[in-house]
Amino acid sequence: MPVRAGKASDKAMTAARLRRGARPRSATAAARIYQLLRGELISLQRKPGDIVSEAEIALANGVSRTPVREAILKLADDGLVDIFPQSGICVSRIPMAALPEAILVRKALEETTARLAAERATSSQVMALHAILERQREANAASDNDAFHQADELFHATVAEVARHPGIWALIQQVKVHVDRYRRLTLPQEGRIARAIGEHEAILAGIEARDPAQARSAMEAHLERLLRDISATQNINPDFFEP
């Protein structure tokens, strides 16, 4: 049977789009839903143990369930959701066993970026880091944990850029998914944000003094606190953690 002109045209457009490297709409939707859900999971808007409904997500985002399912499968690979056949999907609990290793990997990499940043920082880059620290102070004064977290991420990413190794921060992003969820639980703790700001100030002082050893040591002390606080944070939020 001959192919109708309309169908032939559609096939031609699809072929052309694929030749150009364009992504099918379903893949684009899946990527968008993945990023949206990942942000909600890491920020604890969706808490460990919460039920995840494909139908509700599809309806809220005006898409079919296919891209939602693709996004959820990827989130399951990340360890952020658990899929139970014939039962449902829920937000995974934070795995205690995975936290120390991820923090140690991050610490080793960021000690390096802090040291190199102290060797390579320009005056304007130091000023940029000071501006980010001021944003953190403003967020703390406003009791805005989300704004602080964003500025905190920007501070560490900028240190990697100053070190001229921004790819290190991209690598760290891959290993610290569960660490970020754990860190979100530490922020409401009394004095935690103020202490973090003080630790950032010490890191920046080493960079500004062009003292690699001081900057590296300050970064080490800053991230060591994450290791020390694991048990206390679990005791405060036992339902959020996997034994």
pLDDT by residue (tens digit) across 22-79?
455 657 999 999 999 999 999 999 999 999 999 999 999 999 999 999 999 999 999 9
- Answering whether pTM is above 0.85, one says no
User: Is it the case that residue 171 has pLDDT exceeding 50?
Assistant: yes
Q: What is each CA distance from 143 to 43, 47, 123, 153, 154, in whole angstroms?
A: 16, 21, 30, 17, 18
Q: What is the longest distance spanned by two Cα atoms in the chain?
A: 78
Domain 17-92 has CATH 3.40.50.2300: no
Greatest mean pLDDT range, 19-23, 186-190, 203-207: 203-207
pLDDT band, residue 5 (cuts 50/70/90): very low
Domain with CATH 1.10.10.10 in the chain: 17-92
What are the beta bridge partners of residue 241?
A: 94
**Which residues contact residue 221 at a Cβ distance below 8 angstroms, ignoring those fewer than 6 apart?**
199, 202
pLDDT band, residue 18 (cuts 50/70/90): very low
Domain with CATH 1.20.120.530 in the chain: 96-242
Mean of the per-residue pLDDT values of the chain? 90
Q: Which two tokens stand for residue 90?
A: 């829920």
pLDDT number for residue 107: 96
| CATH architecture for residues 96-242 | Up-down Bundle (1.20)
% of the chain residues with pLDDT over 90 = 84
User: Is it the case that residue 19 has pLDDT exceeding 70?
Assistant: no
pLDDT number for residue 87: 84
Report CA 179 to chain centroid distance, whole Å: 9
Rg (CA), the chain: 22
DSSP state of 240: G
Smallest Cα–Cα separation from 202: which of 217, 183, 187?
Answer: 217
